[in-house]
Chain A
Amino acid sequence: MKGQEIKVRAVGTTGSARKLIGTILKAQVVKNEITAHAIGTLSKYPDTRTIFEIGGQDSKIILIENGIVVDYAMNTLCAAGTGSFLSSQAKRLGIEVERFGDWALKSKTPVKIAARCTVFAESDLVHKAQIGHKKEDIVAGLCTAVVTNYLNNVGKGKTIKAPIIFQGGVSKNIGVIKAYEETIGEPVHVDEHSHLMGALGAAILAKTSGKEQDFIFDIEEINFETRGRECTFCANNCEIICVHKDNELIDSWGNKCDKGAS
Chain B
Amino acid sequence: MEQSERIASFPHMGNYHVVVKALIKRILNMKVMTPPPITKRTIELGAKHSPEAVCVPFKYNLGNYIESLEKGADILFQAGGGCRFGYYGEVQEQILRDLGYEFEFLSFDASAGSSIIQIYKAFKNLNPEITISKFMQSFLLTMKMLKCMDEVEEYIRKNIGFEAQKGSFEKMQKSFLNELEKVKSLREIKEIHRKYKEKFEKIEIVKPDKPIRVGIVGELYVLMEPFSNYFIEKELAAYGMEVHRFITASHLLTKRKKHNERLAKEASKYIKYHIGADGTETVEKSKMLAEEKFDGLIHVKPFGCMPEVNAMPMLQRISSDYKIPVLYFSFDSQTSETGIKTRLEAFHDMLTMKRGEKK
Contacts and interface: CB of A to CB of B under 8 A. Distances in A.
B354 A157 contact: no
Interface in B235-294: none
Interface centre among B335, B346, B353 (most CB of A within 10 A): B346
Contacts of B312: 157
Interface string A17-52: 000000000000001111100000000000000000
Contacts of B313: 157
B321 to A, nearest CB: 12
B36 A235 contact: yes
B150 interface: no
Contacts of A71: 319, 325-326, 350
Contacts of B354: 68-70
Interface stretch (A72-80, A81-89, A173-181, A185-193): A72-80
Given A34-B346, A35-B345, A76-B330, A235 B40 contact: yes
Contacts of B319: 71, 157
A66 B332 contact: no
A74 B325 contact: no
B303 interface: yes
Contact of B342 (A33, A77, A157): A33
A223 interface: no
A157 B316 contact: yes
Interface in B33-51: 36-37, 39-42
B114 interface: no
A70 B325 contact: yes
Contact of A32 (B37, B316, B345): B345
B320 interface: yes
B125 interface: no
A16 interface: yes
Contacts of A236: 39-41
Interface in B306-347: 312-313, 316, 319-320, 323, 325-326, 328-330, 332, 335, 338-339, 341-343, 345-346
Contacts of B36: 235
A235 B42 contact: yes
Given A71-B319, A235-B36, A235-B42, A34 B342 contact: yes
Interface centre among B37, B42, B323, B349 (most CB of A within 10 A): B349
Contacts of A156: 316
A245 to B, nearest CB: 22
A237 B325 contact: no
B222 to A, nearest CB: 14
Contacts of A32: 341-343, 345-346, 349
A41 B166 CA distance: 37
Nearest to A33: B342
B41 A16 contact: no
A159 interface: yes
Nearest to A15: B342
B353 A68 contact: yes
B179 to A, nearest CB: 23
A216 interface: no
Given A35-B349, A77-B332, A235-B40, A70 B342 contact: no
Contacts of A235: 36, 39-42
A48 to B, nearest CB: 14
Contacts of B323: 70
Contact of A234 (B39, B325, B343, B349): B39
B296 to A, nearest CB: 10
A67 B356 CA distance: 12
Interface string B9-51: 0000000000000000000000000001101111000000000
A35 B357 contact: no
Nearest to A254: B337
Contacts of A35: 345-346, 349-350
Given A74-B339, A235-B42, A159 B346 contact: no
Nearest to A58: B339
Interface centre among A31, A157, A234 (most CB of B within 10 A): A157
A69 B343 contact: no
A236 B337 CA distance: 15
Contact of B350 (A69, A74, A234, A238): A69
Given A159-B320, A235-B39, A237-B41, A73 B353 contact: no
Interface string B103-124: 0000000000000000000000
Contacts of B37: 234
Contacts of A16: 338, 342
Contacts of A70: 323, 325, 350, 354
Interface string A140-172: 000000000000000011010000000000000
Contact of A74 (B316, B335, B342): B342
A131 B81 CA distance: 49
A183 to B, nearest CB: 20
A34 B343 contact: yes
25 contacts: A32-B341, A34-B343, A35-B345, A35-B346, A35-B350, A58-B339, A66-B357, A67-B357, A69-B349, A70-B350, A70-B354, A71-B319, A71-B326, A71-B350, A72-B325, A72-B350, A76-B330, A77-B303, A77-B330, A157-B313, A157-B316, A159-B320, A234-B39, A235-B42, A237-B39
8 pairs of A and B residues whose beta carbons are closest in the complex:
A157-B316, A34-B346, A236-B39, A235-B41, A235-B39, A35-B349, A32-B345, A69-B350
Interface of A: 16, 31-35, 58, 66-74, 76-77, 156-157, 159, 234-238
Given A32-B349, A76-B328, A76-B339, 5 more contacts: A16-B342, A33-B346, A69-B354, A71-B319, A71-B325
